[in-house]
Every structure is written in structure tokens, then in C-alpha cells.
Structure 1
Amino acid sequence: MLHENRETTRSRVVIFSDALSVLQAVQNPQNKELNTLASALTNLQQSTEQTVIQWIPSHCNIQGNEEADRLAKEGGQLPQDEQEVTYEEAKTIVKEKQKRRWLHQHPDYNKKDAYYLLPRDDQVVIVRLRTGHCRLKHHLYTKFHIGDSASCPCGTSPMTVQHFLQDCPTHQNLRAETWPADTPMRDKLYGPMESLRRTAAFIRASGVAV
């Protein structure tokens, strides 16, 4: 449309799109499927003072994008010609389906979780403590009947994650060194990266395998 209406097109053009995958594909010189689009954009850039393609995460009430979305949905309802799916298209479909399945299976996933910034060894410690699937006596005895009881060696309570991190008198001094101020369980297991590192360091210093 811009090519057909050069006379009425302004010298500076901005095209908004929420199709990030398309914008990334256009920048890939090895992707031959979008040669026509890439060529059209190059020609447009040469005939204007400035041409910019701006990615937006959503339509943001921009009328042109709202209309494009409406037309795309309308086109999706029409009968589609049978065409073979390319390898790249098939790979994209599979990856997207796997991603949706994984997110559905992990409703608590938070991409901003500091857990993902930790070294691998610390991640293992934190995830075991979060889930309770660990080698503390309470879990081993109640789930797998391993050991003689679920009691902590201190003899005051079952050896749960809560007891070990918060109350076990055997590690009271180490706990005070690691957390000088009173710290709730949630901060120890779901807090910022420094809090998670302290928790992992506490476990290693205690000598108890989790």
C-alpha cells in the first residue's frame, strides 16, 4: 500500500507489528521464505527518508493493528489451501506446543524468579527444599519407609524442611550466623537471589545432604 501511494506517503514511516517472530525472521539473511517482504521493505526504505519497523507487545489500541488483527482472524475462518508445512514452520509449531504444555504443567512458573539466576548446584538445593522431595528424614521415612523414623536427630521434632531451616537446635548457631535477623521461610525459599544463596550456603555448611 505504501508503494502504491508514494505521493501521499510521508517521508518518515513507522510500521508497528506485534509479530515478533516475523520481525526476527526478516533480519535473518538465511531465511529465504520472506525474501519478498525483505525486498519490499528495502525498496520502501530507499524511497523514504526513514523507515522503521517497531515491535509492540500488544495492539495497544493502535487502529491499524486492531484492523490487521480483525482481518487475520477473519482470514483464519476461511477455507485454507492445502500446502505442505516447511521444516521451519513445523519446528516452530512443535516448540510452541511444547512451551504451552510446559507452562500448563508448571502454573507456578515465574520467569523473574531469582532461582533461575543461581548456579546449578544451588538450584538443586532450592528446588528440593521448595518441593520437599529431599533426603531429610521426614520425607524419606513417610514416602519411602527408609530409616527408623521421621524424627530429626535433635529429637525435638520430625525432620521437615520447616524444622531444619527454622527450628532445629542442632544448627542454631549456624542459623544465627547465616540469618542474623529473624527470617521467614518464604524469604529463605522464594526471596531474592541473595536470600536463596544464603539458604544454599546454610545447607552446605550444615553438612546435611538434601
Structure 2
Amino acid sequence: MALNHTINETNKEYMIFAGSLSSLMAIENHKANNPLITQIQNSINTHMTINNNKIKLVWIPSHIGIEGNEKADKAANLAHRLPISNIPIPYSDIKVIINQYMASMWQQEWSKSKSFLRKSTPKIEPKGPKIITVERRFQTAINRIKIGHTRLTHTWILEKKT
């Protein structure tokens, strides 16, 4: 959606803020196999090469207090009332949904089991990467470094002075 505002502009710099880290990581992954992600990547590349624009993707852990993001949240909530579109679901997304469903069914069957092993392992946990959570203060510091807005650069950004 934000890319649409850059279509007719040339030689500009844009920062697109998003609350979904996984989406931004998928967009930055050059081996993405999701058609929607590929379409976004192509659009970004087009705007950067043909229009000579610079586009920076920035993750923000929360939308609270940022006017543009609060408007985006409202628009997303209104979208729930729209009719369902026929966007094809990528195989990779279907695979995740099926795997989650199968794990749920497996857990239900395991919970009913009278096996001795169930007593030592009551919950089946899927293997995969563990998600690490970080304090908001640390997230904020990392994001400021990523976008180049720190105490050292504050005056230069606001006043273009060194």
C-alpha cells in the first residue's frame, strides 16, 4: 500500500514502517517463494531502479502513538468487512496451516493415550527455532540505530547541521 504512494515520484527517499518483522524479513529474503512477497520485491526494485528512489523498510514493534500506523490499523480493521478476495494462497502457507493442524490433532490423540511415555512427556512440542523476546528499551535502541536516529545524529537529522 505504501509503495503505491511512490509510483509517480522520482529521486526521493522513503521509509516504510511496518509492525510485522516476519513480513519485512520475508521481503528482504532474496530466495522468497511466496508470490505476494515476490510481487512486493519486484515493486520495490522497480521503484528503486526506474524512479531512482531509495526505499528503506523499518520494523517497529508497536503501532501505538504513530499516527500513520494507527490509520493503517483502522483501515485494516475496516477491511474485515470487505468481501473475500481470490488471492491464491502459496503452497508454503498451506503447508504451515496443515502442519499446525496435524500437530494439534497429534497432541489430542497423545493426550488421550494411556502410554507410559505420555506420563513423562505430556505435551508434544514442535521442533524448530525458539523465538527470543527482548526488552522494549533494547528493541527501541536497535531500531534507532537501524534508521540512523540516535543522540549523535539527532541534531543533524532535525537541522541538517553537524
Q: TM-score, normalised by structure 2?
A: 0.48
Higher relative contact order (CA 8 A, sep 6+): 2
Q: TM-score, normalised by structure 1?
A: 0.38
Q: Which structure has the bigger radius of gyration?
A: 1
